């Protein structure tokens, strides 16, 4: 493949996927369904290779417990108990964001906010001046430097007491607050007794400020101990903010304009930043998400690297700089003895003084920031070889200086023998700032130490091709695959390939590298090898890897042919296999491939061809059966994939995923769930893939809590380093949030899912993920973004040309038409859904009898009833609450169109019961809109208004603004009010209204009579008149949700 003497191409760097976009044409009735809505959308595209929709920031991720402390403090405050809360944490950790989120949620009547500043620390009364300006009715007057803080505190307490409403006093960066103001605030807080005042102080503790390496000027003094005593007396709380989890970083990334971050990338981001939000956001602005997810070794230096830290490094003695440079090459944790040897330092008689600092105290260093590479060397002298140099400095002195400068820390419990960088930023900066030649020399010397890192050092030190290193890298790749470390396996397989000289080993290592990339989810890099794959002579392994690659590229028919030919080749080439005339385990089912069966002219030995190739091929054929909705294939190949022998956990896990998802879609979700019953336990054969499968199936079977738990756990475990092969897991977690009514979270998660798929070139995920992203956006009334996703789903479905992709694209259009009340467009999309998706699992989407639904809205009742009966017959064998809910609502719409409001109301009541059972708040609120129309037609205006108000409350809380607008339009059409007093109650006399109000509190007639001071008979008369006027019984009136 490579002529003798030719250079082997280097392992390609990741890039955007080079996939030809489908033409923007529409076939059949696929486009008119959204014309009315999409015309309002923006032009252009949000293609997978272009710009992605970024949702607006919403709720604070990862700070629920801390926000809960502030909520409790506010509840205490409004009960007339003055409260102090101190929010402390490192710079950039999110103190101001937490306080801001609390203030937005609590919406206190009065907020007096001030900001500390280093420049103001010695300007008396600056903080207090800012606070007093925000207090209504506060007495003015200039404060002199000599003013007594105790007298000022008394005046401030009086001003706070005169406000007459709950007040929140906020001091941001309280560590820089001037001493006079902070003293007066503390004394005022102590003197308050029953005034509703909450003091919120956000500050950086002294130790965090010192270790951050930022330009703080002199170290601040921190908060006065009196604040602590005030809190410990029971008058408040301390909220300590640590770094966010990797899972929280993943959820926040779309709001930062980075929807392409994957779970594995989030794990690496957390490792580098300690979860500091500011640092993580800065790092994401410089480092590509792909590099975070699949890169190995230090990242480029970050632009916001604190200048003080760079200055400290530059001012250190040469021996100290050598020691830090050696550590940067050895890794984030390293042995002092090895670093001393690399740096060429003398052992000395001791450590030259006590070493201070440690990993615990360095946790706050997560906010070092994002840095620009320095221009060269940082003055660090070169090292030749690994031995100590004559005349080198003393290691104890170098270590003392590095620790004092905040560059290194001792790892506790190691007796000072193991060191670490306080966070990944410092080591990466030092590593990146070295010249390439110096780095290679240090790696070459480090490799002489041996141990588990020796191979990595050999790879980093080698500039050319080296068969010995390539073989070791190949073996390590296979070992990492067997351990389930898919990303690391892909890295080593890639290095094995790039280090391999031209010759017989190139073929096997190319196939190994490409498959490892595909298995780890990096289809965009794998696609760079497609030309090399096609130049190989066909054979089972080549056909399988090529088929895998083209499958993720959306060429499903071509992939299917390659997989079938690979199966035929496996049977023909297997040692000890079938004799002529015998059939292999898959032959009874397998149709002959349309591709010619050929064998490679190069011998493929068992040592290079995977022994479990049959299991791998069967798994992919089962997945194709799923996307093609070929129930026979999805079940047969799923069973075959699980039954085929394999020692690889990742092969076995994906086989279980394919089998169980196929079993569920084929109509036997119960069996699939039984087989996955223990998937959450350690060592389960189905692994993380199986947990995603169970989450998907639970979603389809209306177990929303179980689905959310499984899918959320899978994503969270992936952010802790486990390999998540099923990138759709993020998207289905977003759908679970959508079904639960959490639209903002659904938008963020589906944006991340699309970004991850786009970053890694998984084209065949695009229609599904764009459709899932469209659902919450359509409900929110975000028409432009929803229309963009619908266009993407439609366009990519034309390329994939699979029933599943067509169905999801139609589902995206249906979601928009439904939210926009475009009934003709809804019918068009509904017909496409039922044409392409005759699913045996009705819970796979919430549209239910979608064609009957659309027809009933258009008044075509006979056709609607027929379509509903067909749907009921088709799904009779699978009992889904969500499907019964949709059928009951459609029956109500048919009865309404036929002029039978009483029958329609009975169906609505059934649907509401089912919506509550299934935990589908938005579906329940949509049923209430139908209910309100029937109640109004029956003359029960009060009940109709109550139904609308309850629906509006649900839509408003969820952010479903499109349906909120539908509710307001319907209220206007029916002449009902959604704000202020309930309009239907206006027909009652004042005494009747009062009797009704008391009855709704649970009082008996006798109790009402005593309260009103009238006879019980009079109460009965008032209530009966009210029941007659409102056309409601006592129980019905009591059950209504009204704001009395």
Residue 221 has pLDDT above 80, yes or no: no
Structure tokens at 551: 């499958």
Q: Within the chain, what is the greatest distance between any pair of CA atoms? A: 111
Contact between residue 343 and residue 385 where contact means Cβ atoms under 8 Å apart: no
CA distances from 832 to 90, 765, 845, 873, 1040 (A): 54, 19, 14, 20, 40
The DSSP result for 879-891, as a single string, is --HHHHHHHHHHH
Q: How many residues does the chain have?
A: 1044
Give the pLDDT of residue 18.
44
Average pLDDT over residues 841-856: 94
* Residue 458 pLDDT level (bands cut at 50, 70, 90): very high
Average pLDDT over residues 33-59: 39
Give the pLDDT of residue 604.
38
State the alpha helices, DSSP H only, in 47-165.
Answer: 64-78, 95-106, 126-134, 149-162
Structure tokens at 549: 């690659």
For the ranges 115-119, 520-524, 921-925, 983-987, the maximum mean pLDDT occurs at 921-925
In eight-state DSSP terms, residue 11 is P
The better pLDDT of the pair 492, 283 is held by 492
Residue 3 has pLDDT above 70, yes or no: no
Average pLDDT over residues 200-209: 77
Domains within the chain, CATH numbers bracketed: 63-208+223-242 (3.40.50.300), 248-285 (no CATH), 725-838 (1.25.40.10), 841-977 (1.25.40.10), 990-1039 (1.10.10.10)
Average pLDDT over residues 78-95: 89
Give the pLDDT of residue 854.
97
The better pLDDT of the pair 383, 610 is held by 610
Contact between residue 513 and residue 505 where contact means Cβ atoms under 8 Å apart: no
The C-alpha atoms of residue 835 and residue 71 are separated, in whole angstroms, by 51
Across the chain, what does the average pLDDT equal? 82
The better pLDDT of the pair 284, 866 is held by 866
- Smallest Cα–Cα separation from 559: which of 659, 627, 646? 627
Place of tokens 């299917």: 560
Give the pLDDT of residue 983.
63
Residue 279 has pLDDT above 60, yes or no: yes
Q: What is the 3-state secondary structure (H, E, C) of 305-363?
A: CCHHHHHHHHHCCHHHHHHHHHHHHHCCEEEHHHHHHHHCCECCCCCCCCCCCCCCCCH
The better pLDDT of the pair 298, 841 is held by 841
The C-alpha atoms of residue 218 and residue 216 are separated, in whole angstroms, by 6
- Smallest Cα–Cα separation from 272: which of 298, 240, 252, 307? 298
The DSSP result for 582-628, as a single string, is ---TTTTTPPPPSSPP---SS---TTTS-TTHHHHHHHHHHHHHHHT
pTM score above 0.85: no
CA distances from 1017 to 994, 995, 996 (A): 15, 12, 15
The better pLDDT of the pair 917, 728 is held by 917
Contact between residue 777 and residue 740 where contact means Cβ atoms under 8 Å apart: no
What percent of the chain is modeled with pLDDT above 70?
A: 82
The C-alpha atoms of residue 762 and residue 768 are separated, in whole angstroms, by 11
Give the pLDDT of residue 291.
80
The better pLDDT of the pair 237, 32 is held by 237
The C-alpha atoms of residue 275 and residue 246 are separated, in whole angstroms, by 7
Residue 71 has pLDDT above 60, yes or no: yes
Contact between residue 750 and residue 808 where contact means Cβ atoms under 8 Å apart: no
Residue 958 has pLDDT above 60, yes or no: yes
Helix, coil or strand: residue 825: helix
Residue 44 has pLDDT above 50, yes or no: no
Residue 858 has pLDDT above 50, yes or no: yes
Buried b (16+ CB within 10 A) or exposed e, 808-827: bbbbbbbbbbbbbebbebbb
In eight-state DSSP terms, residue 452 is T
Give the pLDDT of residue 605.
38
The C-alpha atoms of residue 274 and residue 288 are separated, in whole angstroms, by 18
The C-alpha atoms of residue 290 and residue 283 are separated, in whole angstroms, by 13
The C-alpha atoms of residue 587 and residue 314 are separated, in whole angstroms, by 70
Contact between residue 200 and residue 101 where contact means Cβ atoms under 8 Å apart: no
Give the pLDDT of residue 306.
54
Tell me the Ramachandran region of residue 94: left when phi exceeds 0, alpha when psi lies from -120 to 50, beta otherwise: left
Give the model confidence (pLDDT) of 177-186 as tens digits.
888 898 999 9
* Residue 1027 pLDDT level (bands cut at 50, 70, 90): confident
Residue 212 has pLDDT above 90, yes or no: no
Average pLDDT over residues 636-653: 90
Contact between residue 833 and residue 793 where contact means Cβ atoms under 8 Å apart: no
What does the CA dihedral 728, 731, 737, 740 come to, rounded to 10 degrees? -70
Average pLDDT over residues 784-790: 96
Helix, coil or strand: residue 114: strand
Q: Beta strand 409-410 with 167-172: parallel, antiparallel or unpaired?
A: unpaired
Q: What share of the chain is helix, strand, coil (3-state, %, to 5)?
A: 60, 5, 35
Q: What is the 3-state secondary structure (H, E, C) of 637-698?
A: HHHHHHHCCCCCHHHHHHHHHHHHHHHHHCCCHHHHHHHCCCCCCCCCCCHHHHHHHHHHHH
């Amino acid at each position: 493949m490579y002529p003798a003497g030719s250079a082997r191409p280097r392992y390609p760097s990741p890039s955007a996927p080079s996939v030809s976009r489908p033409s923007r044409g529409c076939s059949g009735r696929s486009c008119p369904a959204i014309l009315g809505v999409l015309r309002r959308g923006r032009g252009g595209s949000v293609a997978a290779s272009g710009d992605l929709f970024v949702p607006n920031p919403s709720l604070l991720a990862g700070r629920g417990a801390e926000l809960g402390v502030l909520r409790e403090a506010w509840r205490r405050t409004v009960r007339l108990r003055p409260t102090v809360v101190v929010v402390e944490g490192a710079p950039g950790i999110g103190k101001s964001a937490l306080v801001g989120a609390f203030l937005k949620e609590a919406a206190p009547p009065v907020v007096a906010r001030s900001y500390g500043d280093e420049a103001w620390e010695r300007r008396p009364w600056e903080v207090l001046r800012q606070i007093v300006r925000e207090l209504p009715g506060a007495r003015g007057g200039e404060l002199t430097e000599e003013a007594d803080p105790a007298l000022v505190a008394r005046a401030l307490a009086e001003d706070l007491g005169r406000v007459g409403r709950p007040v929140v006093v906020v001091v941001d960066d309280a560590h820089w607050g001037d001493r006079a103001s902070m003293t007066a605030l503390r004394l005022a807080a102590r003197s308050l007794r029953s005034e509703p005042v909450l003091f919120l102080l956000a500050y950086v503790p002294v130790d965090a400020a010192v270790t951050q390496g930022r330009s703080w000027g002199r170290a601040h003094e921190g908060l006065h101990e009196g604040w602590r005593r005030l809190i410990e007396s029971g008058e408040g709380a301390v909220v300590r903010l640590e770094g966010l989890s990797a899972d929280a970083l993943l959820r926040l990334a779309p709001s930062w304009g980075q929807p392409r971050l994957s779970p594995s990338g989030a794990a690496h981001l957390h490792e580098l930043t300690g979860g500091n939000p500011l640092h993580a956001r800065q790092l994401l602005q410089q480092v590509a998400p792909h590099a975070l997810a699949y890169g190995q070794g230090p990242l480029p230096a970050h632009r916001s690297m604190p200048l003080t830290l760079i200055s400290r490094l530059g001012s250190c003695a040469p021996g100290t700089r050598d020691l830090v440079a050696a550590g940067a090459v050895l890794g984030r944790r390293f042995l002092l003895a090895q670093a001393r040897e690399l740096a060429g330092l003398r052992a000395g008689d001791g450590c030259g003084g006590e070493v201070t600092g440690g990993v615990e105290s360095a946790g706050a260093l997560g906010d070092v920031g994002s840095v620009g590479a320095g221009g060269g060397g940082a003055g660090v002298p070169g090292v030749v070889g690994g031995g100590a140099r004559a005349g080198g400095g003393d290691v104890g002195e170098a270590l003392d200086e590095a620790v004092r400068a905040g560059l290194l820390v001792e790892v506790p419990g190691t007796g000072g023998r193991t060191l670490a960088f306080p966070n990944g930023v410092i080591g990466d900066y030092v590593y990146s700032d070295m010249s390439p030649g110096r780095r290679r020399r240090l790696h070459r010397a480090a490799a002489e130490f041996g141990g588990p890192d020796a191979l990595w050092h050999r790879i980093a030190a080698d500039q050319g091709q080296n068969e010995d290193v390539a073989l070791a890298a190949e073996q390590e790749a296979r070992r990492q695959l067997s351990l389930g470390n898919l990303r690391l396996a892909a890295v080593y397989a890639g290095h094995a390939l790039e280090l391999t000289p031209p010759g017989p080993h190139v073929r096997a290592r190319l196939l190994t590298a490409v498959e490892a990339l595909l298995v780890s989810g990096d289809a965009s890099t794998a696609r760079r090898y497609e030309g090399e794959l096609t130049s190989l002579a066909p054979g089972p392994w080549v056909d399988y890897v090529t088929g895998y690659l083209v499958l993720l590229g959306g060429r499903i028919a071509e992939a299917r042919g390659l997989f079938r030919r690979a199966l035929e080749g496996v049977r023909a080439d297997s040692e000890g296999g079938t004799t002529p005339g015998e059939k292999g385990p898959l032959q009874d089912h397998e149709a002959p491939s349309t591709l010619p069966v050929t064998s490679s002219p190069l011998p493929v030995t068992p040592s290079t061809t995977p022994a479990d190739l049959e299991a791998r091929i069967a798994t992919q054929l089962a997945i194709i059966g799923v996307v093609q909705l070929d129930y026979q294939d999805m079940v047969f190949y799923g069973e075959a994939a699980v039954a085929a022998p394999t020692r690889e956990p990742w092969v076995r896990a994906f086989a279980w995923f394919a089998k169980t998802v196929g079993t569920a879609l084929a109509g036997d979700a119960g069996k699939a769930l039984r087989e996955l019953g223990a998937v959450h336990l350690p060592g389960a054969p189905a692994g993380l893939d199986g947990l995603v499968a169970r989450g998907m199936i639970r979603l389809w079977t209306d177990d929303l809590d179980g689905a959310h738990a499984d899918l959320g756990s899978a994503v969270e475990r992936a952010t802790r380093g486990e390999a998540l092969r099923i990138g759709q897991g993020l998207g289905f977690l977003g759908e679970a949030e959508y079904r639960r009514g959490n639209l903002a979270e659904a938008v963020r998660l589906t944006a991340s899912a699309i970004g991850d798929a786009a970053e890694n070139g998984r084209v065949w995920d695009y229609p599904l993920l764009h459709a899932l992203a469209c659902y919450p956006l359509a409900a929110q009334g975000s028409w432009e973004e929803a229309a963009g996703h619908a266009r993407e789903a439609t366009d990519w479905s034309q390329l994939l040309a699979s029933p599943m992709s067509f169905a999801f694209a139609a589902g995206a259009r249906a979601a928009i038409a439904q939210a926009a009340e475009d009934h003709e467009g809804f019918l068009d999309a509904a017909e496409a859904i039922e044409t392409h998706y005759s699913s045996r699992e009705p819970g796979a989407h919430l549209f239910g009898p979608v064609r009957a639904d659309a027809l009933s809205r258009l008044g075509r009742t006979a056709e609607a009833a027929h379509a509903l009966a067909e749907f009921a017959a088709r799904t009779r064998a699978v009992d889904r609450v969500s499907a019964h809910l949709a059928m009951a609502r459609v029956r109500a719409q048919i009865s309404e169109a036929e002029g039978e409001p009483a029958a329609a109301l009975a169906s609505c009541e059934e649907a509401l019961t089912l919506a509550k059972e299934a935990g589908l708040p938005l579906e329940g609120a949509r049923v209430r809109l139908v209910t309100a129309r029937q109640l109004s037609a029956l003359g029960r205006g009060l009940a109709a208004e109550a139904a609308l108000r309850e629906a509006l409350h649900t839509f408003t809380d969820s952010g479903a603004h499109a349906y909120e607008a539908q509710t307001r339009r319907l209220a206007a059409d029916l002449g009902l009010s959604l704000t202020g007093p309930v309009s239907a109650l206006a027909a009652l006399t004042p005494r009747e209204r009062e009797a009704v109000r008391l009855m709704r509190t649970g009082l008996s007639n006798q109790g009402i009579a005593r309260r009103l001071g009238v006879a019980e008979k009079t109460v009965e008369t008032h209530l009966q008149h009210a029941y007659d006027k409102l056309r409601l019984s006592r129980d019905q009136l009591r059950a209504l949700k009204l704001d009395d």
